[in-house]
Amino acid sequence: MKLSKTEVNKMGELSGAKLKLFKVEDGKETEVKNWESGNSPLELSLEPGTYKMVEEEAPKGYKASEPVEFTVKEDNSVNIDSVFKAYTNQIIKSSIDRYDLIYVYPKGDSNNKTVVYCFNAKKQLPPKEDSVINKKLEYFAEYGTGKLFEEKASREVLKGEDLKEAVLKVIYNGYPHNKVGLQEKYGLSDNEFRRATQQAIWYFTDSGGVVNNRYEGSLNEKRAYEILIGKGLDIDESLKKAPSNMTLYLYTPYENKSKSEYYQNLLSTRFIDPVTVILENTKLQDQTNPKPEEPKDSEKEKPEEPKDSEKEKP
């Protein structure tokens, strides 16, 4: 398997982090490996069990990430034992024009947020970040195999791996990756393009999307949605297939430690192999350059005294 170090919402490895891997047995942590991240993930062969990946020191200019626990199963598949928080930021322009922007972040690290989408459209969105109920709600992440995705979807139009690949293709060509330039072609804002992408995901996961040809956004936004689900494509609008290392993450809601059937499941993507565990860093905000100190009086340059020959003679 591979252990990867990346920056939030960025492709490629982040070098310069000092990392350790521990095996966890009966509450005891035994060090397995320590290393510094480079230009490629660390590849290891691990026996079945529970492990914890810890960042001892972050690269310069980055905030250290929270530890990640994961379990290697007998069949060499991996479960990520990471707990996330989620929230919805609503932007309402009118009764028929609103945006529901959903984010997740590792518990305890609210600066490390990731754009996500929802499915099970008839269930509830994650609550607002500052709501009372949000304190009780947590999400557990796992790799989204075709079988697992099908189990969690409500009224899917495709099955198994076909469903997973269709949704990956929507996100790869939709927001935020925009691989065929639909956002610029149709002049869409980030929020508009994100909403069109969400509607396209619902088309596949919930037999939803646009109903009776009614779309609450603009005609251009509707056109982007239609292209994302494969309707009426022009030659120059052919969608790109998601790369093989684009992996689906599914987030399952738990309320008071019990699985919740009230809230929607969430999904996002990573550019990693399905047997890769990652730690993500958030870049620290640039610090304003402090004003240089004024030199003390004793240190200030004094004008040179004229030499004797240059002094005015009476």
Percent of the chain scoring above 90 in pLDDT: 44
- Examine residue 293 and state whether it is found in any structural domain, yes or no: no
Q: Which residues have C-beta within 8 Å of that of residue 148, sequence separation ≥ 6?
A: 142, 250
- Reply yes or no on whether the pLDDT at 178 is more than 80: yes
CB-based contact 123:259 (threshold 8 Å): no
Could you read off the pLDDT of 27-78 as tens digits, one per residue?
899 999 999 999 888 988 899 999 999 999 999 999 888 888 888 888 777 7
Give the lowest-confidence range in 19-28, 56-65, 185-194, 265-274: 265-274
**CA nearest 20: which of 68, 78, 83?**
68
Asked which of 68-72, 93-97, 223-227, 270-274 is least confident by mean pLDDT, the reply is 93-97
Characterize the bridge pairing of strands 258-259 and 246-255: antiparallel
- pLDDT class for 150, splitting at 50, 70, 90? confident
CA 118 – CA 201 distance, rounded (Å): 8
> Is 291 inside a domain boundary?
no
Strand partners, 292: none
- The answer to the question of residue 295 being in a domain is no
Q: Point out which residues pair with 49 in neighbouring strands.
A: 72
Higher per-residue confidence, 110 vs 234: 110
Compute the mean pLDDT over every residue in the chain, rounded to the nearest whole number: 83
Q: What's the pLDDT score for residue 215?
A: 66
Any domain includes 163: yes
Residue 104 has pLDDT above 90, yes or no: yes
Containing structural domain, residue 222: 2-283
Nearest Cα residue to 253 out of 263, 244, 243: 263
Q: For the whole prediction, is pTM greater than 0.75?
A: no
What is the rounded average pLDDT of the residues 231-243?
76
Per-residue pLDDT at 313 exceeds 50: no
Taking the alpha carbons of 245, 223, 191, 198 in that order, is the dihedral positive or negative? Answer: negative
**Residues 120-132: what's their mean pLDDT?**
90
Residue 291 banded pLDDT, cuts 50, 70, 90? very low
Predicted confidence (pLDDT) at residue 82 exceeds the cutoff of 90: no
pLDDT reading at 97 higher than 70 = no
Distance CA 239, CA 222 (A): 16
Whichever domain contains 186, its CATH number is: 2.60.40.10
Give the pLDDT confidence of 83-92 residue by residue, as tens digits.
899 999 988 7
pLDDT class of 245 with cuts at 50, 70, 90: confident
Per-residue model confidence (pLDDT) at position 143: 80
Q: Is residue 120 part of a domain?
A: yes
In 128-275 the beta strands, taken as DSSP E runs, fall at 137-143, 246-255, 258-259, 265-271
Q: Cα separation of 172 and 290, whole Å?
A: 42
Number of domains comprising the chain: 1
Nearest alpha-carbon partner for 105 in 272, 246, 266: 266
The string of pLDDT tens digits covering residues 293-306 is 454 454 444 455 55
Amino acid letter, 163: L
* Across 123-137, average pLDDT: 91
pLDDT recorded at residue 59: 92
Buried b (16+ CB within 10 A) or exposed e, 154-174: bebbbeeeebbbbbbbbbbbb
Cβ contacts of 298 within 8 Å, gap of 6 or more: none
- Has residue 276 been placed in a domain? yes
With vertex at residue 80, the alpha carbon angle to CA 76 and CA 86, rounded to the nearest 5 degrees, is: 155
